[in-house]
Structure formats: structure tokens, C-alpha cells
Amino acid sequence: MHLLSPLIVLTTAAAWSSRPMSSSSTAAMEASPHKRDPRCPYYGCPKKPHDVHYNYDAVKVAFQKIRDTKRIHADRHSVGVLQESIATDAVTLTLIGYKGGQLTDQINQDRAVIVSPYYITTESSSSSNAAIQQERILMGVFDGHAPRGEQVSEFAATELPPLLAAKLRNALEHCSSPEDIMKQTANMLSETFIELDQRVPADPSGGCTATVVLRQGSKIYVANAGDSRSFIVAYRPSTMRCEIVYMTREDKPNLPEEKARVEAAGGQVYIPIRGTSRVVYQDPETMAPTGLAMSRSIGDWAAGKMGVIPDPIVHVLDIPTIVATEMEGYQVENDGSVRSHEEDDDVYIFAISATDGMMDYLDEGDIAKILAHSLFEATGVHPISACEHLVFAAAQAWQQAKQGRYRDDISIAVTALRRPPTPASQ
């Protein structure tokens, strides 16, 4: 036996590979059945980010209160109205940017959503298909741009969870093999991005990035279009090791394959000596030439005529293989389980998604370490306080770099994806 790579890249020409799940390999990921909240949609309770500063007094009071509370001591009372931004082992926050003019005129074009747990059927569904019944977590971040960018990102964040749920339900109903499940899930993520692109209120001008993480059973699916980023992190408290095992790329027009596609569509890529490359297109409102700083996005229909596409790059990671790799020599058995002793398995896995308002100035390794401590260490602050710290750190970096003249919107979302099994679940 040998250790397998934790990353499986899904492309049209890729060879599909997977391993069946066993109860031992998924015990740490399969929690007891959740009682659904009747106030929420059938697919779960979507959590949206609060603004860390520009908000009503009750939110500001809640932020102050939770700063003084360790994660393990936090309850619904101490969290208060921030519960609207908190799911199970998951939080999301944002900060409106400053683009010039009056503060009251600023518009936050970032959006984020977390649905944990995430369902693809109604509670009364009678489906016995194992592919349908897998436990799921969904998280996404969307960075709007252009005059109607906030409308596009809001539409994407709101409509993606139910749209993806419906597509997964229909596609997985007749799947039986792990290979089919993985292939269909990746296809449905791509179809969801493409359908959102067709339906968003992007006329005449507006678009957004989309970076989405879906944990389904023992697999982590990451779909990305644009220059927001998602990364998957493995953390071991015994060694304090915090490793980024996967990170999405920024879909920039100067990348050779992206540039080739744009130029094949009749578009032009502007590559400056300093700064970011852009796809040149004609603004449909001003009719002036302008540039889009990414080669994939949702919306941006005018740039779409020049080769900008909504199709995400989808990657799949295998949780048991990540665990085995992190445990330095432990192996994945043929049935997908990790051969280890329960006292040795302390591998936690979590996901982070953030817009470029944060990623342009903060190091992903520093972000991962701060959030790992807050999520999994008993002495850690609440994850929402950790995210608040990161948002303000990014804002301070913008202040120093731009002397207060400009600050991009800043958003982050984080969710735990795997906790080590307890002795009872081994």
C-alpha cells in the first residue's frame, strides 16, 4: 500500500478515481442526525455575515461581549444577535470598504453564506440512497464588482444553496459507485455556476467572483471562479502543525490558458508592468473601454463576449487521505479507512474562503493559524472574534497602503470539516 495524493483534479479529460467509504473512515465526519429548524428552508439555515463595524448597537454590544468569552464557554446568550452569522463550527464576517465620497454612500458588494448542516432533500424524504443521505456542509464567498455587483453577489449567495441542492438531489438519486457520485457532484457544481451566470441581475453591468466549498461525506469539493480564494487546512494540536493542503488559484487573464481562451474569443488581455492583468471590454453603460481583473466570473456579460467564463475549476480532496498524509506514514486501506490508533489521530480539517480584500494583504498561513486555534483549542477565542481580528488587520493594512483613500470590501467565512473520532466511534 502507498499514500495517495489528497488532491484529485476534476477536468473533462481526467480519470475518475475514488475509494468506497467505510464506517471507520467516516466516523469522525458523520455526526448524529441534526434536528432541523422548522423556521429554515429545507436545505438548512443559511448564515450571512454581519459587518464588524458599521452595524446597529446590538451587534456592536455582541461583538464586545464575545471578545471576552472563550469559545468553549460561549453559548447562545453570549453570542446574541451574532448567531445570525454563526453555524455549527462555522462563522462569517464582513467589513464594507471605502471607495471615495461620503461614508453613507458606500456599498458593500461582498456576500458570503454558510449552510451547516446542508441538506439536499426535505426532512420527510423517503430516499434510502446512500449518496443522497450523506452529511454535507456548504460555504461560499462572492465578491461583487461593477455598478450592480452587490445585486449579482446577493443573488448568487442566496440562490446557490437551493439550486445546488436540487441539482445534487436529481443527479445523485441513481448513483451507486463512489466514482459516479464524485463525478456527478463536480458536474453539478459547474452547472450551478453556469446557471447562476445566466440568471443573475447583471444587466447592463455587474458581476461577482464565486468560491465555494462543499463537504459531502468523505470528500471536499472546492469550486472557484474569479480571484477570491478558498483553502483547506489540516491542523494537529499535538505538534501545533497547521498546513494548507490545498488553495484555489486566482483566475487572472495573464495565465497562459486563460489568455489563450480570451484571445480566441476576440478579446484582449492587458498586462501592465505593475499591477494586475485585465480583460479589456466595452462598458455597456458608458461605452468606454474598461478592464476586468479576472478571467472567470458570474455575470459580466459584456466581458463574457470577450472570453470571460463562469465555469469554475473544481477540485476534490479526500479526507481520509489528508489525515493519513498528515499522520506521517499512516496508510489508507483499500476500503478508504485510515490505519491508525485512536490516540494518534488528532487531525482537524477546516476550510477558509475570503475575498481579495483580505487576501491582498494578509498571509494565508497566518490566517490559518489564527483560525485553527480559535476553532479547536480550548483556550482559543471564539471563531467570530478571530475573524473580527483578521478583518480589522486587513483593514489596517489597506489604511497603511492607501492612506485612507481606498479600501476594498473585506469578507471571510470559515468552517470545520473534520474532527478526530472519539473512542466510541472507532
CATH number, residue 75: 3.60.40.10
**Mean pLDDT for the stretch of residues 82-107:** 94
Residue 168 lies in a domain: yes
Give the domain extent around 59.
Answer: 44-121+134-251+312-332+346-418
Residue 392 lies in a domain: yes
pLDDT tens, position by position, 48-69: 999 998 888 889 888 988 887 7
Residue 378 lies in a domain: yes
Residue 212 lies in a domain: yes
Q: What is the mean pLDDT of the chain?
A: 88
Q: What's the total number of domains in the chain?
A: 1
Residue 204 lies in a domain: yes
Please state, in angstroms and rounded to a whole number, the distance separating the CA atoms of residues 332 and 324: 6
Q: Report the run of H or E that residue 81 belongs to, with start and end.
A: none
Q: Report the run of H or E that residue 396 belongs to, with start and end.
A: helix 383-402
Please check whether residue 346 is in contact with residue 421, taking contact to mean a CB–CB distance below 8 angstroms: no
- The pLDDT assigned to 333 comes to 63
Annotate 379-393 with b (16+ C-beta within 10 A) or e (fewer).
ebbbbbbbbbbbbeb
**Mean pLDDT for the stretch of residues 77-86:** 85
Residue 129 lies in a domain: no
Residue 279 lies in a domain: no
3-state helix, strand, coil in the chain (%, to 5): 35, 25, 40
Residue 74 lies in a domain: yes
- The pLDDT assigned to 19 comes to 27
Q: Are strands 50-51 and 90-95 parallel, antiparallel or unpaired?
A: parallel
Angle at alpha carbon of residue 416, lines to 414 and 418, rounded to 5°? 155
- The pLDDT assigned to 76 comes to 65
Cα distances from 338 to residues 232, 240, 264, 333, 386, in angstroms, run 19, 21, 46, 6, 32
pLDDT tens, position by position, 262-319: 999 999 999 999 999 999 998 888 788 899 999 999 999 999 999 999 999 999 999 9
pLDDT tens, position by position, 155-203: 999 999 999 999 999 999 989 899 999 999 999 999 999 999 999 999 9
Alpha helices in 20-97 (DSSP H): 23-26, 57-67, 76-79
Angle at alpha carbon of residue 249, lines to 362 and 262, rounded to 5°? 125
DSSP output for 330-381 = -EE-TTS-EE--TTT---EEEEEEE-HHHHTTS-HHHHHHHHHHHHH-TTPB
Whether the predicted model's global pTM rises above the 0.85 cut: yes
Whether pLDDT at 151 is above 60: yes
Whether pLDDT at 24 is above 50: no
HSE-CB for 129 with a 13 A CA cutoff: 18
- The pLDDT assigned to 21 comes to 33
